[in-house]
Structure 1
Amino acid sequence: MSELLKVSSNPHVRARMKTDNIMLLVLSALLPSAFFGVVNFGLRSLAVLAVSVVSAVLTEYLYEKLMHKKITIGDFSAAVTGLLLGLNLPSTVPLWLPVIGNVFAILFVKQLFGGLGQNFMNPALAGRCFLLISFAGRMTDFTWDGVSSATPLAALKAGESVQVLDMFLGKTAGTIGETSVIAILIGAIVLLWFEVIDLRIPGSYILSFAVCTLLFGGHGLDFGFLLAELCGGGLMLGAFFMATDYVTSPITKSGQIVYGIALGILTAIFRYLGSAAEGVSYAIIIGNLLVPVIEKVTEPTAFGREPFWKRGKKA
């Protein structure tokens, strides 16, 4: 009975699409990236993805079983977390690595904060950042076509030239799911078509990052460099599949735009001022932490009520 009294923040929207339907659509939209990753990196990547999904679902099931809580693996949110984390891993990682990442993501970031809808940051990205900090060497060991090589973003940062078309198609080194922009966009179109997401967050994210790149990327109005930065790393995967997470992104429409702009600026700061070539994961994690502030600032003013910054002031 107590669960019936829990009311989420407004706006309250009635929709025929339930959580499991949404998660199944997200899983379907991720399949093109997963399929290309397996084709590009071989069956080893399929093993990484399978272990990642199974470990995420199993961690959620065991925790809820041991804590005598309602089993929620049927909403497929744990499977989405596992697949997203797997797509953010190199194909060369040992198979125990996605297990550790998913235990951290599901147990410490999601379940210990109350489960789906209560986590304060994206679990998959939290797991990836945890692995990057803990196992930096294994998380940055990229192999493509049987040869260890740097990612295109690392080559760009070192002043080397890259092939933008190869980056768009995915014929480059990188994590399993981030290399093929065209595969990611196919999945994004699926989410947009079924109105699971809209363009406010990914559009403002990509546009603000593009502006920062042209102004502060150090290459002026070099659109070849801009396209390479847009196609490289996890920008497209992060913009369409992780920044748009319902739980960790703003509810207000104007807040979503502010959030996307903040992500674009943060990603540019990490890429151009930091020592690493990539920065999407950390940018989205920090953006998740800023969501309460963004929602507070962009809260619509009710009719007959003063804006929050005027409340409490004497006339």
Structure 2
Amino acid sequence: MSQPIIISASPHVHSSKTSKKVMYDVVIALVPAFLVSLYVFGFSALLLTAVAVISCILFEFLIQKYLLKTEVTVADGSALITGILLAFNLPAGLPIWMIVVGSLVAIGVAKMSFGGLGFNIFNPALVGRVFLLVSFPVQMTMWPLPDGITGATTLGIIKEGLMFGNTMTDISAQLPSNMDMFLGITAGSIGEMSALALLLGGVYLLIRKVITWHIPVTILATMAVMTGVFWVVNPESYASPLIHILSGGAILGAFFMATDMVTSPMTRKGMIIFAIGIAVITVVIRLFGAYPEGVSFAIIIMNAFVPLINKYFKPRRFGAKIKSKIV
């Protein structure tokens, strides 16, 4: 007797790419930035990352096994990435107990309370980071410098200087050089400083087709255009586009946070709308808000709009006819 024919619903598409493989591709892409953080901050960066990763994995395991009583899926790599990205958004030297609290919020509140991987609305690592920033603003804004002392970030120096009536010409003497920002020899969260390392990781993700160019390129291009307009109109009151791109979490957010598959739109048009929204909110907060940085807030806000974006920018149904104009 011949093998029975099994009929299932279309589309009949198969791919060797699994969630686990995608997650570990992201981990590989984050290695260059992690190595830079070790070079700049040494053991502090290693300890911070280790605590965040172990905490996230442990909390996910405990919640799945003892609270939800579902299959334990910590081996899929998602908790690992959440831990790394949370650490990358924190200053070196943050107290260990705060890192653990941030991990609990990221996994327990932002991820598992929605049902786990694939169901969360907001990026878990960013929720953990924003919770810590709002709850412990002093500790979250103490930025160790490469020489061991603490100081302000590039965006913080600019925000404070302009607030006290200084011009960009006056402030520029206090800023790190563009090359230092590009390489990552400056103050900031441990994983957001080196533009070079993050771009290398982003290119890897593009080559591996884990992400597409639409979100990161649109975010950075929109930020460059918006800040460029203000800079051209009044260069003494606004920083140049290059400073805005190289400093803060712009590149980290564009390539590694906003591109999260679960919390970003499905279609290319939706991705572009989503990315423009992130860039606009980021620039508005940076230029006119109380905080010098706005990437985390912008991504979380736009995460909330993803269901609406997906509703109005739906992918074409498999097998649907494309309407053509008769010439």
Q: Does 1:44 align with 2:59?
A: no
* Long gaps (5+) in structure 1: 1-6, 307-315
- The CA RMSD measured in Å over matched residues stands at 2.2
Determine if the alignment matches structure 1 residue 140 to structure 2 residue 132. Answer: no
How many Å apart are 1:12 and its aligned residue? Answer: 8.8
Cα distance in 1 for partners of 2:232, 2:255 equals 26
Q: Determine the structure 2 residue equivalent to 1:266.
A: 281
Structure 1 residue 156, shift from structure 2 partner: 2.2
Q: Shift in Å at residue 216 of structure 1?
A: 3.3
Do the aligned partners of residues 114 and 141 (structure 1) sit closer, same or farther apart at CA in structure 2, a change above 3 Å counting?
same
Alignment of 1:234-249 (within 5 A): 234-249=249-264
Deviation at 1:296, TM superposition (A): 1.8
> How far apart are residue 221 of structure 1 and its match?
7.1
- Cα separation, partners in 2 of 1:105 and 1:114, compared to 1, 3 Å: same
Identify the residue that residue 78 of structure 1 maps to in structure 2: 79
Offset at 1:224?
Answer: 7.4
Give, in whole Å, the separation in 2 of the partners of 1:300 and 1:100.
39
> Residue type of the partner of 2:200?
I
Say whether the 8 Å CA contact 1:238–1:280 is kept in structure 2.
yes
AA matched with 1:60: E
Corresponding residue for 2:158? 156
Shift of 1:299: 2.3
The 5 A counterparts of 1:1-315 are 14-66=14-66, 67-144=68-145, 145-157=147-159, 158=161, 159=168, 160-161=171-172, 162=175, 163-216=177-230, 220=234, 225-300=240-315
Q: Take 1:13 and 1:131, find their aligned partners in 2: how far apart are those partners?
A: 42
Cα–Cα, structure 1 residues 84 and 12, in superposed 2: closer, same or farther, change >3 Å? Answer: farther
User: 1:112-155 deviations in whole A, cap 9, x for unaligned?
Assistant: 11100000000000000000000111110001111211101112
- Deviation of 1:38 after TM superposition, in Å, equals 1.2
Cα deviation 1:180-216 (Å, max 9, x = unaligned): 1001111111111111011000011111111111123
Tell me, yes or no, if the aligned pair for 1:61 and 1:72 is still in contact at 8 Å.
yes
**In 2, Cα distance between the equivalents of 1:63 and 1:286?**
26
Question: Rg larger in 1 or in 2?
Answer: 2
C-alpha deviation, 1:300, in angstroms: 4.7
Q: CA deviation at 1:245?
A: 0.2
Q: How many equivalent pairs are there? A: 298
How far, CA to CA, are the matches of 2:235 and 2:267 in structure 1? 33
- Contact 2:118–2:262 at 8 Å: present in 1 too? yes
Q: Say if 2:231 and 2:239, in contact at 8 Å, map to a contact too.
A: no
Q: Distance in 2 between matches of 1:301 and 1:21?
A: 27
Distance 1:256 1:207 in 2: 14
Shift of residue 111 of structure 1? 0.6
Contact kept, 8 Å, 1:219 with 1:225, in 2: the verdict is: no
Looking at structure 2, the residues matched to 138 and 124 of structure 1 have their Cα atoms a distance apart, in angstroms, of 18
- Structure 2: any 5+ residue segments left out of the alignment? 1-8, 162-167
Indicate the SS of the match to 1:103.
helix
Instruction: Please report the TM-score for the alignment, with normalisation by the length of structure 2.
Output: 0.86
Normalised by the size of structure 1, how large is the TM-score?
A: 0.89
Return the letter of the residue paired with 1:99: V
**Distance across 2 between alignment mates of 1:15 and 1:129:** 36
Change in 2 beyond 3 A, CA 1:21/1:149: same
Contact 2:266/2:315 (<8 A) preserved: no
Question: In the alignment, is the contact (CA less than 8 A) between 1:217 and 1:272 conserved in 2?
Answer: no
> Secondary structure of 1:112's partner?
helix
Instruction: Report deviation, 1:88.
Output: 0.7
